[in-house]
């Protein structure tokens, strides 16, 4: 058994009369030759690490470059004042995405989901919810299965496929997880994944000064909010007109054809702006000392 297509997972769901997450659990058990309870215990450790990272967020902390830090706290305070134009859930999602991605830039412990640069998306959509243990497992196994498929059919690395491969994948994982815990069908999970990926297809990886900070932190926000939107559309019965596996393959093709300047080299996009270049020069000058 291999998680190399969404179609295969959906087929196994139908044949075995089990939910998406249990297909992924069975794969992990077979792949790593562990008991189901061992697999679940490890997944719950990942969840605890996400919770700890959120709880330990410090709005006073700054990255070494000074480019990142404090925005998560600003968003949290803004929400507390009741000034957000969004509902409580989405405004909290934004704050959590910022906080988690900042924690990564500040060298704190996070969970790569699927990468460190995209670590804020999945926990941001899940942490604000009151989930029981079964729902946590359902969400995380669903997300990991989606990530595994995208890694097999396309890429999850910005250096290979641009930011669509990192934030895009994280957004697709989060969208599918949300649909799963809301009782959506396998087909609806697939539609959510497809729509989340389509919305971010072509997103370039252009880190200023080569650091996973700008614009990476704020892109975690758009990935998280995109995931919520895609999940809601899928649950409303809205379908992707392009099959989810075809969307994943198209994303892979776009990444492979993307100029090298837009694949984590810091040679194009925002990194190549006058301000981006000035930041790089400042960082280089500081290192000389």
Query: For residue 249, is it within any domain?
Result: yes
How many distinct structural domains can be found in the chain?
A: 1
In terms of pTM, does the model score above 0.85?
Answer: yes
Query: For residue 218, is it within any domain?
Result: yes
Query: For residue 159, is it within any domain?
Result: yes
Q: What share of the chain is helix, strand, coil (3-state, %, to 5)?
A: 70, 0, 30
Query: For residue 127, is it within any domain?
Result: yes
Give the model's pLDDT for residue 1: 57
pLDDT in tens, 119-139: 999 999 999 999 999 999 999
pLDDT in tens, 33-61: 999 999 999 999 999 999 999 999 999 99
Cα dihedral 194, 200, 202, 206 sign: negative
The segments of the chain whose pLDDT lies below 70 read: 1, 288-289
Query: For residue 1, is it within any domain?
Result: no
Query: For residue 26, is it within any domain?
Result: yes
Inter-helix orientation angle 36-55/133-153, to 10°: 100
Strand stretches in the chain, DSSP E: none
Give the model's pLDDT for residue 3: 86
Query: For residue 51, is it within any domain?
Result: yes
Query: For residue 21, is it within any domain?
Result: yes
For residue 109, count CB atoms less than 10 angstroms from its CB and return exposed for 0-12, middle for 13-18, buried for 19 or more.
exposed
The domain of 27 spans: 6-288
Give the model's pLDDT for residue 2: 76
In what helix (H) or strand (E) does residue 194 lie, and over which residues does it extend? helix 186-200
């Amino acid at each position: 058994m291999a998680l190399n297509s969404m179609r295969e997972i959906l087929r196994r769901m139908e044949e075995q009369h089990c939910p998406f997450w249990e297909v992924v659990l069975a794969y992990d058990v077979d792949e790593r030759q562990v008991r189901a309870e061992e697999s679940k215990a490890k997944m719950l450790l990942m969840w605890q690490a996400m919770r700890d990272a959120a709880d330990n967020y410090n709005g006073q902390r700054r990255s070494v470059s000074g480019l990142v830090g404090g925005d998560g706290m600003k968003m949290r305070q803004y929400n507390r004042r009741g000034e957000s134009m969004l509902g409580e859930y989405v405004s909290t999602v934004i704050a959590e995405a910022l906080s988690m991605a900042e924690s990564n830039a500040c060298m704190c412990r996070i969970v790569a989901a699927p990468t460190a640069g995209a670590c804020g998306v999945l926990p941001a959509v899940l942490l604000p919810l009151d989930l029981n243990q079964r729902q946590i497992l359902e969400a995380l196994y669903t997300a990991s299965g989606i990530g595994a498929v995208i890694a097999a059919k396309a890429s999850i690395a910005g250096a290979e496929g641009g930011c669509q491969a990192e934030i895009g994948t994280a957004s697709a994982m989060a969208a599918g997880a949300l649909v799963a815990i809301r009782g959506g069908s396998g087909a609806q999970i697939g539609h959510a994944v497809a729509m989340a990926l389509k919305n971010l297809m072509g997103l370039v990886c252009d880190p200023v000064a080569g650091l996973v900070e700008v614009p990476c932190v704020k892109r975690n926000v758009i990935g998280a909010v995109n995931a919520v939107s895609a999940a809601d559309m899928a649950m409303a019965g809205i379908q992707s007109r392009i099959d989810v596996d075809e969307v994943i393959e198209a994303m892979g093709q776009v990444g492979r054809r993307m100029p090298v300047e837009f694949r984590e080299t810091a040679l194009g996009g925002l990194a190549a702006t006058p301000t981006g270049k000035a930041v790089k020069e400042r960082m280089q000058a500081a290192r000389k000392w």
